[in-house]
Amino acid sequence: MLLRSGHTQPRRRATVLRALAGAAAVTLLAAACGGGGGSGAASSGASGAATLVAYTGQSGDYQINFNPFSPSSIGGIGTIYEPLFFINKAQEGEPVPLLGTEYAWNEDGTQLDVTLREGVTWSDGEAFTADDVVFTFGLLKSTPAINNIGFDGDVTATDDTHVRFTFPAPAFVLGPGILTGVVVPEHLWADVDPTTFVNETPVGTGAYTLDDFKPQAFTYVANPDHWGGEPAVKGIRFVSLSGNTAGADAIANGTVDWQTGPVPDIQNVSTNFPDYDTLTASQNQMVLSTCSNAELGCTGPQTDPAVRHALYLAMDRTQLNALAFEQTASEISPTFALTSSQTAFITEALDEPVAPEKADPAGAGEVLEAAGWAKGSDGIYAKDGEPLRLTVEVVTGWTDYITALQTLTEQVRAAGIDLQVAQSSWNEWTEKKGQGSFQLAIDSLWQGPAPDPYYLYSYFFTSTNTAPVGEAAGNNYSRFSDPEVDAALDELQALPLDDAAARQPIFDRIQARVVEEMPYVPILTGGTTSEWNTARFTGWPTEDDMYAFPAVWSALDAAQIFKTLEPAQG
């Protein structure tokens, strides 16, 4: 279906906007892990009966930050700050109009016209206009540290309800990021530094506003003036807990309504907890992230690609899935193209397109020895007097990841690698990654706003999304930087997304470097499982109607779910 913007020149819908869209860089509240529970007490702004209690995996106190462009933002994306459209990352469908109502590309992909919704106001009563959209995308372009979508075009307002994005070259791949990027009010953001602003009193156009904040919990209250009508769920309370064990206890006690994370016997949630149901979707790819680039200041054995490949070969993924993930995880490709929906993108030059299920300690040893490492009398490899000893960071309370690392410690020791586990709060873990003060960190890479590996590569492998150690990096916190990958991504930007013949040779080049360097060591594709209270709220996604990706920490999806839910009757 062609969406028309009122112009008569030829238009073309970007095929990138269809189907299993992955999480855009700015839509995640936290890493794809963790579960929790907590108090069901409502704030003063919403009745307890209509307040949904949610847990995103936050371990330790919240530090107030509602800046939607900040990597340490704790909330507001989707709920308070809205994008132009919502794109479902869980099933095929048309983009859902939000602040935008229609959009269209010109034939060569150098111009994108968007029609804006009329009659929208910011929560402080000011009118929302095209000038706010122009300001927001101008802010991204002028501030590389927050420009995770790589916006490099120009945007102008043709009137109060129409904006035009123009590009010097075809830019179809930028469409999903533009259409799902949140918009902020010019009248409040014009004089702030978006890289440091913590935005304690956020003003948005969304269905919710911030009611109160405490380090242990914060609450949203329904916006009665929202353009789409006041949502039926009158309050959302996000709680901070100690981790997955507390989350499982909270589900058992009925004190949390929605968490995304592990509980015991996860395959039988509805039987064990009759008021709850569960849903699993596979998108996020679990990795051992490494501070990989010595030229940008990374130090330690993990800066050697041979060490990263040895870790890859030393894993027994079958055992990890059974012991840590209750068989909810699935296979992963070292190219990071999803094996469930993106196999057509995997290069044919790769002998093993899927990571091995069983450990190969002998193969890991061969890789290390070829790179000059020698096994000592203690069974641990060393080079130039430095033992192959690595520390991996994990968030306290993320029991599935902690179990995985405890298992992995034993697996890699059989390959001559000494792995130590360091637990810290989510805030500290995030800070270490952003500043580059880590060797390894267990984490997940997420997909972009369309079923195409271009977006994951542009988030996690481009030089523009990283920084030297000691400076805040973007999504590419591994500090990976490769001119060939950067050039290939630039080439992909200029090609229509349905031109597979022209695009695949470029993907082949990217994947060759991604596999060779392996700055993120593939573990498994995570099964993202939510548990939610069906006795208190109705309208949750189902296998037959997965209208949004069912993860509480995937902010744009969660916002869509919050708006769809209704308190149960009776």
Higher confidence at residue 291 or residue 108? 291
| Residues β-bridged to residue 459 | none
Nearest Cα residue to 110 out of 23, 64, 152, 168 = 168
Q: Are 341 and 20 in contact (CB under 8 A)?
A: yes
Alpha helices (H) along 441-565: 454-460, 483-493, 500-517, 555-564
Nearest Cα residue to 72 out of 530, 508, 492, 432 = 432
> Residues 201-229: what's their mean pLDDT?
97
Categorize the per-residue pLDDT at 258 as very low, low, confident or very high, splitting at 50, 70 and 90. Answer: very high
Task: Give the DSSP H or E segment for 422.
Answer: strand 418-424
Separation of alpha carbons 142 and 329, rounded Å: 40
pLDDT at position 205 is 98
Q: Are 69 and 146 in contact (CB under 8 A)?
A: yes
pLDDT at position 420 is 98
Backbone angles phi, psi at 233, to 5 degrees: -80, 110
Separation of alpha carbons 477 and 479, rounded Å: 5
Domain residue ranges in the chain = 283-526
Backbone angles phi, psi at 223, to 5 degrees: -90, 110
Separation of alpha carbons 500 and 505, rounded Å: 9
Q: Which amino acid is at 446?
A: W
Categorize the per-residue pLDDT at 22 as very low, low, confident or very high, splitting at 50, 70 and 90. Answer: very low
Cα 537 to Cα 54, 229, 456: the distances in Å are 12, 19, 34
Q: Are strands 96-97 and 85-86 parallel, antiparallel or unpaired?
A: antiparallel
Alpha helices (H) along 258-398: 269-272, 305-314, 317-324, 361-370
Q: For 284-308, what is each residue's pLDDT tens digit?
A: 899 999 999 999 999 999 999 999 9
Residue 15, pLDDT > 90, answer: no
Residue 417, pLDDT > 70, answer: yes
Q: Are 426 and 57 in contact (CB under 8 A)?
A: yes
Separation of alpha carbons 394 and 396, rounded Å: 6
pLDDT at position 48 is 59
Tokens 């690698």, located at residue: 417
Q: Are strands 566-567 and 381-383 parallel, antiparallel or unpaired?
A: unpaired
Mean pLDDT, the chain, whole residue set: 89
Residue 2, pLDDT > 70, answer: no
* Token pair of 511 as six digits: 């994947």
Cα 209 to Cα 42, 75, 82, 97: the distances in Å are 15, 11, 12, 20
Cα 277 to Cα 91, 267, 280, 318, 488: the distances in Å are 20, 10, 11, 27, 44
| Residues β-bridged to residue 280 | 529
* Token pair of 113 as six digits: 């016209």
Residues 6+ apart with CB under 8 A from 508: 347, 348, 349
Q: For 260-287, what is each residue's pLDDT tens digit?
A: 988 888 889 999 999 999 998 888 899 9
> Residues 138-158: what's their mean pLDDT?
93
Separation of alpha carbons 547 and 507, rounded Å: 30
Categorize the per-residue pLDDT at 59 as very low, low, confident or very high, splitting at 50, 70 and 90. Answer: confident
Separation of alpha carbons 101 and 116, rounded Å: 6
Cα 287 to Cα 127, 177, 446, 522: the distances in Å are 44, 24, 11, 5
Q: For 444-470, what is each residue's pLDDT tens digit?
A: 998 887 778 999 999 999 999 999 999
Say if residue 567 is exposed, middle or buried (CB neighbours under 10 Å; 0-12, 13-18, 19+).
middle
- Let me know the angle formed at the C-alpha of 270 by 264 and 275, rounded to the nearest 5 degrees: 110
Say if residue 242 is exposed, middle or buried (CB neighbours under 10 Å; 0-12, 13-18, 19+).
middle
* Token pair of 455 as six digits: 């977006």
Q: Are 204 and 82 in contact (CB under 8 A)?
A: yes
The total of other beta-carbon atoms located within 10 Å of residue 438's CB is 25
* CA pseudo-torsion sign 4, 5, 7, 9: negative
* Token pair of 89 as six digits: 């990352």
Q: Which amino acid is at 34?
A: G
pLDDT at position 237 is 98
Q: For 172-184, what is each residue's pLDDT tens digit?
A: 888 989 999 999 9
> Residues 502-511: what's their mean pLDDT?
97
> Residues 541-550: what's their mean pLDDT?
91
* CA pseudo-torsion sign 280, 282, 288, 291: negative
DSSP category for residue 83: B
DSSP category for residue 16: G
Categorize the per-residue pLDDT at 7 as very low, low, confident or very high, splitting at 50, 70 and 90. Answer: very low
Q: Are strands 235-239 and 51-55 parallel, antiparallel or unpaired?
A: parallel
Cα 403 to Cα 65, 240, 324, 390, 566: the distances in Å are 30, 21, 5, 17, 36
* Token pair of 441 as six digits: 């960190």
Residue 26, pLDDT > 70, answer: no
pLDDT at position 408 is 98
Three-state SS string over 539-570 comes to CCCCCCCCCCCCCCCEHHHHHHHHHHCEECCC
> Of the segments 59-73, 431-445, 487-501, which one has the largest average pLDDT value?
431-445
Phi-psi sector, 477: left (phi>0), alpha (psi -120 to 50), beta: alpha
| Residues β-bridged to residue 159 | 162
CATH number 3.10.105.10 is the correct assignment for the domain at 283-526: yes
In the chain, the N- to C-terminal Cα span, in Å, equals 41
Do you know the residue count of the chain?
Answer: 570
Q: Which amino acid is at 537?
A: F
Categorize the per-residue pLDDT at 190 as very low, low, confident or very high, splitting at 50, 70 and 90. Answer: very high
* CA pseudo-torsion sign 150, 153, 159, 162: negative
pLDDT at position 570 is 60
Cα 424 to Cα 226, 289, 392, 398, 520: the distances in Å are 39, 16, 11, 10, 21
Categorize the per-residue pLDDT at 494 as very low, low, confident or very high, splitting at 50, 70 and 90. Answer: confident
